[in-house]
Amino acid sequence: MEVREYLSVRRSYSLMRHEVDAPVRLTFAEVAIMCHLVEEDAALRTSDLATYQGVLKPTMTHRTKHLESLGLIVRMRGTEDQRNVICAISKEGLRCVEVLCERVCDKIAQGQALSRTTPRRIRSYINDMGTISCGASELILLTMSAEGEGACLPVSEIVRRLGLLQPTVSMTIESMIRRGLVERCQRPADDPGGLGIRLTDRGRGEALRTIDLVRGVKVHRSRS
């Protein structure tokens, strides 16, 4: 998968997510779980979903319980082994996936990667993107690495490109500065933005590792 495709989908999802009321706002990982259940067209064990996203079973249990509380999936005990919890998409969950994928498509601006794709194809993208974990810091690394070595971007531009909220980006950048991934830099004198952010050597190394993760994602054709 190309980095620009990954960023395009994540940006569009973030923009769409801002329009959803907080109580029913889903993380990208949670939407990916629902897309995975639809794409697999089968009920799956919690352990299978944990393997799919590369997380611990307790993490997946927390995610699926939240989805169940919203009526988007159904969780049930296995018939042969009561210790197994089986998850299946609900009718409401299926409708939610369709609406979300349509809205993500609508948020992809003309000229951006995947601007001409379909909701069903977006569902396949989200399903396969769910196999890796990229938080705000990884998204910032990807965005800045695309600018080339030494690029100095203002925080406002990072916010615009990622579709994340300003406080989220600002807090994440402060954490990244403490971790030695980025540093503050002076923008050109004629730039009203003043200070900006650029990658450190360590940040470039982390960015390359994240790029490799994204490029390792294989987007499959929808099964349904």
pLDDT, position 24: 78
Q: How far is CA 213 from the centre of its chain?
A: 13
Q: Tell me which of 3.40.50.11540, 3.40.640.10, 1.10.10.10, 3.20.20.100 is the CATH number of domain 3-129.
A: 1.10.10.10
Average pLDDT of span 14-19:
93
Instruction: Tell me how far apart the alpha carbons of residues 154 and 143 are, in angstroms, rounded to a whole number.
Output: 12
- Cα–Cα dist 29/157, whole Å: 25
Q: State whether CATH 1.10.1760.20 applies to domain 136-215.
A: no
Residue 143: is its pLDDT beyond 80? yes
Model confidence band, residue 70 (pLDDT cutoffs 50, 70, 90): very high
Give residue 208's pLDDT: 96
Q: What is the pLDDT of residues 36-61, one digit of tens each?
A: 999 999 999 999 999 999 999 999 99
pLDDT, one tens digit per residue, over 81-135 is 556 899 999 999 999 999 999 999 999 999 999 999 999 999 999 999 999 999 9
Reported as a single tens digit per residue, the pLDDT across 5-16 is: 999 999 999 999
Measured CA to CA, the distance from residue 15 to residue 218 in angstroms comes to 24
Whether residue 148 has pLDDT greater than 90: no
User: For position 195, what pLDDT does the model report?
Assistant: 84
Burial of 62 (C-beta count, 10 Å sphere; 0-12/13-18/19+):
exposed
99: number of Cβ within 10 Å: 12
Q: Do domains 3-129 and 136-215 have the same CATH topology?
A: yes
Choose among 178, 130, 144, 138: nearest CA to 30. 130
User: The pTM is what?
Assistant: 0.91
d(CA 142, CA 136): 10
pLDDT tens string 150-191: 899 999 999 999 999 999 999 999 999 999 999 999 887 666
Annotated domain spans of the chain: 3-129, 136-215
